[in-house]
Chains A and B, each alone.
Chain A
Amino acid sequence: MTYSFNIPPSKDKLRQMRKFVTEVLQKHRVSELEINMMVLAVDEVCANIIIHGHPGDDSEYVKINIDIKKNGVSFEIIDKGDAFDILKYNEPVLADLVKNKQKGGMGIMLVKKIMDQIDFKSTRNQNTLKLFKQVDVQS
């Protein structure tokens, strides 16, 4: 079973996207704790794309595909902004964040901790980030 959702690249639309992902996962009987973690990971990725990948450009949607598999949930996040490969990103150390009074940097750490598999592909036209989490799910 697959689901699709487009969000305009605006931070105040993240809420709508979270609602959509939550409702899909609830339908497939994923536990509340797992839902929150997956919603968080997708939220972090989308926030990154909106803040860093689309500076001042609100014409292109960010597309989210959710695929319910037998053993878990697979997400595809597609955008046409500047490419940002989270796999190549070196996460900061928590102590440095505190020392530098830095607010950013923890989003990608969360995505990597939460998800079991992350794949990134960038072509000339679009970027595709695939996330998979193994979880009890009803198909």
Chain B
Amino acid sequence: MIEINVSTENNYLLIHVEGEADASSSIHLDNVIKESVEEGHKNILIDCTNLNYISSAGLGVFMSHLGEIEEKEINFIIFGLSEKVLNVFNILGLDQLLTIKKSKEDAIVAIS
């Protein structure tokens, strides 16, 4: 089960992800990110403070949009990962490919 809320704050789009991103639910996250990238937002922040679980399906969502994010020079920043969720990114070294920040404040600093 996943709940996603999108809002615009100042100069960035904030996507708040809550619950679990697994083989069954990650499709919803994919749709939201796809739409946000296509809409031409230049700053996209993903708030994962309340993301309790991620499997390869969720990781795959982030990875599959990476090419377009780089092409369009979008600032795409993930923040608020819990220790166990961050650990899943680290196992495959995805923390080296994606921009991950500790807090919302750190993410905002990174786009300004």
A residues whose Cβ falls under 8 Å from a Cβ of B: 11-12, 14-15, 18, 32-33, 36-37, 40, 43-44, 47, 50-51, 94, 97-99, 101-107, 109-110, 113-114
> Is the C-beta of B63 less than 8 angstroms from some C-beta in chain A?
yes
> Is the C-beta of B40 less than 8 angstroms from some C-beta in chain A?
no
Q: Which residue of A lies closest to B65 (CB)?
A: A101
Assess the B24–A40 pair: CB atoms within 8 A.
no
Assess the B64–A102 pair: CB atoms within 8 A.
yes
Given A12-B24, A44-B56, CB of A98 within 8 Å of CB of B87: no
What band does the interface of chain B fall in when counting residues whose beta carbon is under 8 Å from A? 20 to 34
> Is the C-beta of B111 less than 8 angstroms from some C-beta in chain A?
no
| Per-residue interface assignment for chain B, residues 44 to 75, with 1 indicating a CB less than 8 Å from any chain A CB and 0 otherwise | 00000000010111011101111110000000
What are 14 sample pairs from A and B whose C-beta atoms fall under 8 A apart?
A: A11-B22, A11-B23, A33-B87, A36-B88, A37-B87, A47-B23, A51-B23, A94-B93, A97-B60, A98-B63, A102-B64, A103-B30, A106-B63, A113-B92
Give the contacting residue for A15; candidates B1, B59, B83; CB below 8 A.
Answer: B1
A43 to B53, CA, bound (A): 11
| Per-residue interface assignment for chain B, residues 79 to 95, with 1 indicating a CB less than 8 Å from any chain A CB and 0 otherwise | 00001110110011110
**Chain B: minimal CB distance from A125 (Å):** 26
Give the contacting residue for A98; candidates B1, B24, B30, B66; CB below 8 A.
Answer: B66
